[in-house]
Structure formats: structure tokens, C-alpha cells
């Protein structure tokens, strides 16, 4: 499964939800499908998309939040999983696209390429619903289930280490920030 295919598959379910992604390839791929004011692409602060999603989920308990994370990013902020689990927002679905590499900066292998199990780490941190999927259909089913579960989920999707040719888009961080802020307040 490629991450782009996975994103295309769940895109209709993202349209009405609050979405926070990491920077780089994921952000560019989601934007290539179609940017929306409810999508925020967290630039620079690697590893903190799930922390930002946690804050939004806690402050907006009546809305569902989807975080689109990466293996390299979450590995930089493993403590974030323990904080997610401690606050256990029932309205947060945390997707980790695990391509076993830092694709956006040249593809260096991460610890998941040598066996580290992010769903296992999330479960051990106390996240109540965790899982790993490897096919598009499994991913779509598990994502649906997570949206309907009413509890915090970390879903690890094993994806190919393939991405777009470039990661720079014409949406600047500031423009995205103000648009997203207005959306959250509206
Ligand atoms: C603190 C910090 N260190 C390094 C970077 C540079 N950087 C940007 S994206 C990235 C790789 C992200 O890897 P991953 O989360 O696995 O996503 P992928 O690029 O594979 O989609 C790195 C190292 C950064 N932005 N911030």
C-alpha cells in the first residue's frame, strides 16, 4: 500500500473532521488530493502532531480529530504516546504511516526497519485501541472502526517508502495557521 492510496481511500472521512498532519511527504500528498480549511500541516515541529491533536481533541470534545503521523516523527516523541494515553481523548484517531524511513529527508531507515513495533509501544504506553495494518482494505476497515469506536486509537499503517517528487506546496505555514484557527473558532 502506498500512503497516497491510503489517503485517497479515507479522504471523504477527513472532509468533516479536524485533521493535523506532520510535515513533508504526508502534507504534500494530502494537499495534492485537496486542501481544506480543517486541515493543518504542522511544519518543523517534528514529532508533535499527535501532541497538537491531543490539545485540540481535549478542547473540542464534540469534534473528531484525526492525526496523520509518521514513524520517524513519533519515534522522536515517544513520550507523547504516554501523554495521549493518560488523557485518553475518545475523539482522537492517531494514524501512523510507517514507511520505516525518514522519507522526507532522504529515506534514512528508522527503528521500525529493524523491528521496533509502534503499535506495541503505543499499547504499552496505555493507548486503549492499537493495531497494525498492511493492506489498503485492512487500513480502510480499521480506520472506519476507529472512527466509530469512541475511544483513543493508534493505528499503524505499514506503507511503501514512496512519496511525491517534491514536498514544497504553495500553502504557507502562516496562511494555513490563520485559516485553521478561523475554522476552529467558527
Ligand atoms: C526536530 C526536527 N528534526 C528534524 C527535522 C527534519 N525532518 C523533517 S521531515 C523529517 C522526516 C520525517 O519522517 P517520518 O515521520 O517517518 O515521515 P516521512 O518523511 O517518512 O513521511 C525530518 C527528519 C525536523 N523538521 N525537525
Ligand 1 atom with the shortest distance to the CA of 104: 19
**Chain segment 27-79, per-residue pLDDT in tens:** 999 999 999 999 999 999 999 999 999 999 999 999 999 999 999 999 999 99
Q: DSSP per residue over 86-147, as a string? A: HH--TTEEEEEEE-SEEGGGT-EE-GGGGT--HHHHHHHHT-SEEEEE-SHHHHHHHHHHHH
Give the pLDDT score at 165: 84
Distance 76 CA to ligand 1 centre (A): 9
Predicted structure pTM score: 0.97
**Chain segment 4-15, per-residue pLDDT in tens:** 999 999 999 999
Give the pLDDT score at 169: 84
**Chain segment 127-175, per-residue pLDDT in tens:** 999 999 999 999 999 999 999 999 999 999 999 999 988 888 889 999 9
Band (112; pLDDT cuts 50, 70, 90): very high
Q: Is 94 helix (H, G, I), strand (E, B) or coil?
A: strand
* Residue identifier of the C-alpha nearest atom 5 of ligand 1: 46
Residue 167 or residue 84, greater confidence: 84
Question: What is the mean pLDDT of the segment spanning 87-108?
Answer: 97
Distance 186 CA to ligand 1 centre (A): 31
Amino acid at each position: 500500500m502506498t500512503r497516497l492510496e491510503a489517503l485517497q481511500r479515507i479522504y471523504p472521512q477527513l472532509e468533516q473532521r479536524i485533521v493535523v498532519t506532520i510535515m513533508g511527504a504526508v502534507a504534500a500528498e494530502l494537499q495534492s488530493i485537496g486542501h481544506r480549511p480543517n486541515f493543518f500541516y504542522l511544519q518543523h515541529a517534528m514529532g508533535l502532531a499527535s501532541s497538537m491533536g491531543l490539545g485540540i481533541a481535549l478542547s473540542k470534545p464534540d469534534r473528531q480529530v484525526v492525526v496523520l503521523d509518521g514513524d520517524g516523527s513519533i519515534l522522536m516523541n515517544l513520550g507523547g504516546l504516554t501523554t495521549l494515553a493518560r488523557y485518553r481523548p475518545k475523539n482522537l484517531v492517531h494514524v501512523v504511516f510507517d514507511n520505516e524511513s525518514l522519507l522526507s529527508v532522504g529515506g534514512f531507515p528508522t527503528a521500525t526497519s529493524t523491528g521496533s513495533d509502534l503499535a506495541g509501544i503505543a499499547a504499552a504506553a496505555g493507548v486503549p485501541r492499537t493495531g497494525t495494518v498492511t493492506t489498503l482494505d485492512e487500513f480502510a476497515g480499521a480506520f472506519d472502526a476507529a472512527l466509530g469506536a469512541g475511544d483513543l486509537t493508534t493505528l499503524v499503517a505499514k506503507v511503501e517508502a514512496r512519496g511525491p517528487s517534491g514536498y514544497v506546496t504553495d500553502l504557507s505555514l502562516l496562511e494555513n495557521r490563520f485559516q485553521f484557527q478561523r475554522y476552529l473558532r467558527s
